[in-house]
DNA sequence: AAATAACCGAGACGGTACGTCCGGTCTTGAA
DNA sequence: TTCAAGACCGGACGTACCGTCTCGGTTATTT
């Protein structure tokens, strides 16, 4: 029978997530072991297996605890200047991916998403989808204001913006810099902008 | 002392790569073990460890053997119609990523690239860079013909094109279809195209 | 940190010792492997390594379990007739060494004692010393009864008796028979007996 | 087909035996490997396997080369005093067994004799039998001179003498000293001496 | 307040794979 | 043909973790 969540030790939960994230930074995802997490957290192995189905699930929860974002606070500022607003998010994403503290956890999640489809779904819904929806919302506002083409598929538009960033980060084709962020933003905006008036 | 490559058994090398790719398809990357590869290939484990530093390296070589592309044959057709030509490559990439036979190996490589920077370098140089250079070459031709903006950073241009594809494939944000390929191509081309004549 | 003996699985311990002794008989000491013992016993290898430092130590315990003698029951009968009593033990020792079931284990122990001094100490204290002490005790009684010389070094006396037996058994100089046992006993007794009255 | 001994490299043979004995002293028999012998001797592994059937056989030859005794020179001195002459051999045997240089090789041989009956036969015939025959010869002379009982089984008599020595050496029941040698000799002689005249 | 049930820490257990070492065979090129 | 060198297949080594299980010892209700 499933364990009773009301009797769960919050203390242990915190210790496990902290230990997991710390160890992840220290040794990398591949060498991260449940055994080590339990030892570092001062916790029995069973306590981990009782509440999480896999190493990836622990790391996912660890990531969520680490960023600890309110999904409602995710909405982008709307200064009326789409270009400036997008430039801001894109730069923020690049900063997050380049941050050596966070990127280890993100990469770990990426790895696990390749093999564990169930976890991939959760990660997508809890982490990626909200961020992308926030960007889509800002784009829709601009679209309504006539600053962007009316016939845009916003989902694709968002990926045109962030796809190149993840491409560099994951495939390591070149360093992920702020300059790259800006170049990508500019190019993408040109694609999304209103049809040039033909005569 | 390092082994002498001139005495290497080509027979064993082939058997190992074949076994690795086959097993990868059967059980996935995480459950792929050196031991199983050796057993399937009818080879001593040491023969694998002698020639490859890691499981990822074997898979990388297996990938190269499987696609077996002549890097010189990689150049894109140039029909004079950039749009059509690009649409072709993008569709081809999508097809490759969606192919259940190949995508397992590719995902495995992706995973390993996240943890093993050295392997990531090799994979980039041997697999990704040639493909991206081929696209860049085609873009340069178009640029010379005045079909694209003159001030483009071609490396970024290529990533604007393929980034969204990999984003979907890796982050599983949505199914990777041919329609998506075309939409992305159209949007990207709009970004890359020549400055609209401002009256 | 050392394992907690109170949590040790008696079931596993028995299975390991039984498997070890059985396999020893089947394949000999050199081809006896920890891996095979674990497999035969239905036990993880770690469970063996957790409780025994070496293959020899397992075999030693297996030997002890197999003979399962109460060290207090080891004392020789005292019929008053030293010659007869000694003849009995010597024959018994020869029988044990010639027994194909037991001798394999004994030889294995012998082998290990040559290379592992620590194990040699244990084997001596646990197996050989009690047997030799029992013989020494019987000799002392005879000595007190004036049947043996008063100035005997009993330790040497015992080895005069059993040394030749082990010599044949280990060096394979000739078959180890009951006749040999009796001849040795007779000769040794002549050496140990009271000084012949001179005039 | 068997190799042609006339084309055998004497140089390699010497190097192998020397390397084997040296390594034996350095690391002990268990950790002595063919691979290490070949490397130390600057010889291919095949050269060892071509001429010797097993590790034990190499060590046996190494032992013979090390002691390098002429089996004809083995005969004991005959001063007319059996007691003194035997005391001499027994002390010599003890000295040899206690010699840290030689005893390692001897122990290795002992080990191998326990598992390899064929090698045991060779070792017995080449090493032990000659030594024991020499002692038996001396005993026979004494017997003929009326110094020993006429009805002795000389083979047993020899083992009564040397058995206790090997017992201590192999079973490590106590240190093997010269004093022990003398005590054993005295006791054994008493057993072997002529029947006391019963009044 | 006692009894009873869960979670908890600890870690032993049966397993699987690791990466290494060596056994014994086979292949290559030099002498 | 022998030899030095060493790649090869195979298999055991001793270690590290996996995920499950069993053990006392706290809690935290339920009687």
pLDDT tens per residue across span D51-104: 999 999 999 999 999 887 666 667 889 999 999 999 999 999 999 999 988 899
On the question of pLDDT at C55 being above 70, the answer is: yes
What tens digit of pLDDT does each residue of C115-133 get? 999 999 999 999 999 999 9
- A101 Cβ under 8 Å from any chain B Cβ: no
R_g of chain A computed on alpha carbons: 20
Sign of the CA dihedral with B147 first, then B149, B154, and B157 last:
negative
Task: State yes or no: chains A and C have 3 or more CB pairs below 8 A.
Answer: no
Name the band, by pLDDT with cuts 50, 70 and 90, for residue B71. low
Burial of D60 (0-12, 13-18, 19+ CB in 10 A): buried
- What does the alpha-carbon distance between residue C16 and residue C10 come to, in Å, rounded to a whole number? 10
Query: How far, CA to CA in Å, does A176 sit from each of A180, B107, B158, D134?
Result: 7, 22, 15, 88
- C182 Cβ under 8 Å from any chain D Cβ: no
- pLDDT for D145 equals 94
What tens digit of pLDDT does each residue of B80-128 get? 999 999 999 999 999 999 998 889 999 999 999 999 999 999 999 999 9
- pLDDT for C76 equals 87
- What does the alpha-carbon distance between residue B48 and residue B63 come to, in Å, rounded to a whole number? 16
- Domains of chain C, start order: 5-62 (1.10.10.60), 71-192 (1.10.357.10)
- pLDDT for A193 equals 86
For D89-93, the CB contacts below 8 A with 24+ separation are: D89/D134, D89/D135, D89/D138, D90/D161, D90/D162, D90/D165, D90/D181, D90/D182, D90/D184, D90/D185, D91/D178, D91/D181, D91/D182, D93/D131, D93/D162, D93/D165, D93/D181
Burial of A141 (0-12, 13-18, 19+ CB in 10 A): middle
Is residue B135 within 8 Å of residue B126, measured between CB atoms? no
- pLDDT for A147 equals 95
- pLDDT for B75 equals 83
Nearest to B164 by CA among B81, B97, B104: B97
- pLDDT for A71 equals 63
C67 vs A42, which has greater pLDDT?
A42
Say which residues have a Cβ less than 8 Å from residue B190's Cβ, sequence separation at least 6: A190, A191
For C93-110, what is the mean pLDDT? Answer: 93
Name the band, by pLDDT with cuts 50, 70 and 90, for residue A190. very high
Query: How far, CA to CA in Å, does D23 sit from each of D17, D35, D57?
Result: 10, 11, 15
- C135 Cβ under 8 Å from any chain D Cβ: no
Residues shown for chain A: 199
- Most C CBs within 10 A among D106, D187, D195, hence the mutation to make, goes to D187
Q: Which tokens belong to C132?
A: 């030799």
In the block, residue with structure tokens 């591949």: A30
- pLDDT for A101 equals 85
Query: A-B interface: how many C-beta pairs under 8 angstroms?
Result: 129
Is residue B167 within 8 Å of residue A163, measured between CB atoms? yes
What tens digit of pLDDT does each residue of C125-166 get? 999 999 999 999 999 999 999 999 999 999 999 999 999 999
Nearest to D191 by CA among D98, D83, D95, D103: D83
Task: Quickly list DSSP for C73-126.
Answer: GGPPP--S-HHHHHHHHHHHHHHHHH-HHHHHHHHHHHHHHHH-HHHHHHHIII
On the question of pLDDT at C113 being above 80, the answer is: yes
Name the band, by pLDDT with cuts 50, 70 and 90, for residue D4. confident
Q: Which tokens belong to C117?
A: 């001094």
**Backbone φ and ψ of C33, nearest 5°:** -120, 150
On the question of pLDDT at A86 being above 90, the answer is: yes
Give distance CA A141 / C1' E24 (Å).
Answer: 76
**Residues in chain B within 8 Å Cβ distance of A129:** 173
- What does the alpha-carbon distance between residue A148 and residue A142 come to, in Å, rounded to a whole number? 6
**Residues in chain C within 8 Å Cβ distance of D172:** 113, 117, 120-121, 124
Share of chain D above pLDDT 90, in %: 84
On the question of pLDDT at A79 being above 90, the answer is: yes
- What does the alpha-carbon distance between residue D93 and residue D135 come to, in Å, rounded to a whole number? 11
**Residues in chain D within 8 Å Cβ distance of C172:** 113, 117, 120-121, 124
What tens digit of pLDDT does each residue of A125-155 get? 999 999 999 999 999 999 999 999 999 999 9
- D167 Cβ under 8 Å from any chain C Cβ: yes
B173/chain A closest Cα distance in angstroms: 7
What tens digit of pLDDT does each residue of D188-199 get? 999 998 865 454
A102 vs D90, which has greater pLDDT?
D90
């Amino acid at each position: 029978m499933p364990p009773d969540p009301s009797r769960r030790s919050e203390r242990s939960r915190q210790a496990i997530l902290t230990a997991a994230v710390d160890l992840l930074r220290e040794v990398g995802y591949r060498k991260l072991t449940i055994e080590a997490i339990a030892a570092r957290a001062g916790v029995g192995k069973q306590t981990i297996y009782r509440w999480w189905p896999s190493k990836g699930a622990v790391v996912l929860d660890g990531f969520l605890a680490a960023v600890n974002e309110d999904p409602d606070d995710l909405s982008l500022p709307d200064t009326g200047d789409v270009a400036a607003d997008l430039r801001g998010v894109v730069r923020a994403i690049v900063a997050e991916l380049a941050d050596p503290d966070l990127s280890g956890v993100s990469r770990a999640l990426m790895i696990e998403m390749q093999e564990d489809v169930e976890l991939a779904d959760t990660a997508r819904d809890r982490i990626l989808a909200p961020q992308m929806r926030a960007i889509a919302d800002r784009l829709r506002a601009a679209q309504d204001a006539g600053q962007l083409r009316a016939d845009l598929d916003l989902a694709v538009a968002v990926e045109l913006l962030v796809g190149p960033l993840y491409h560099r980060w994951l495939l390591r084709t070149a360093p992920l810099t702020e300059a790259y962020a800006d170049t990508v933003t500019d190019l993408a905006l040109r694609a999304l902008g209103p049809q040039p008036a033909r005569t």
